[in-house]
Every structure is written in C-alpha cells, then in structure tokens.
Amino acid sequence: QVQLVESGGGLVKPGDSLRLSCEVSGFSLSGHFVSWIRQAPGKGLEWISYSSASGDIRKYADSVKGRFAVSRDNAKSSVFLQLNSLRVEDTAVYFCVRHGCSSEWCELDYWGQGTPVTVAS
C-alpha cells in the first residue's frame, strides 16, 4: 500500500537548520509530484513547496522562499526538505504529500503522518 514516512523533525533554535526526509513505498516516486505542507499548532494547513516527478522543477511559498530547499532521490524513493534560517513561526508539523497524478495540478491523495518541528530559543 502507498506510504509516506517523514523523519528529521525536532527542537532547534532560531537560525538553525534541519533536514526533513520522506521515504515512500507502494508506488513509483518518479511518477508523482510531491509537496510539503505544514500545520502550525492549532492552525490550518499551509502549502510550502513541491518537487516535480523528475526533481527538476521546484516551487516554494513566499514564506519559505530562499530559506527552504526541496530535493529528491527517486532511486532511493525519498524526498527531502532542507530548512535553513529557521524562525519561531516555522514551528509546525510538516507533512510530505503525494500528488494524485504526474502533474502539479492534482489533488493531494496520500499524506505522511507528519514530523514536528519546533523552533524556540
């Protein structure tokens, strides 16, 4: 069955960096866009980035542009999100999410369980 499993979250200080990983199984990663979506404590959902199926196209929300970087290794069935210059307002659960087709214009059909990131001094 389709699974996405995030890891790498934790407690860091403002200005620190983290690298989140998302390991997928049950489908071919090379056939799907993958987005990262976050949810601050008690708040709604915010899309922050996607990686195209081949990894050559990446898009970011303005709130993280220049600080976060998405990448992938299709051979290892993994997607990564590098979080740099972290701010208190980046505190959230980060979800790795599969697009339901090989395009950016798709519903988000499978979600990982999320990995929490807390930024505090």
Interface residues with another protein (CB under 8 A) are: 35, 37, 44-47, 59, 61-62, 95, 100, 104-114
Nearer to another protein (CB atom), residue 75 or residue 105: 105
Nearer to another protein (CB atom), residue 55 or residue 100: 100
Distances (CA, A) of 5 to 2, 24, 65, 98: 10, 6, 24, 11
Name the minimum Å distance from CB 64 to another protein. Answer: 10
Neighbours of 52 (CB within 10 A): 18
For residue 44, what is the DSSP state?
A: -
* Alpha helix ranges (H) inside the chain: none
Nearer to another protein (CB atom), residue 56 or residue 121: 56
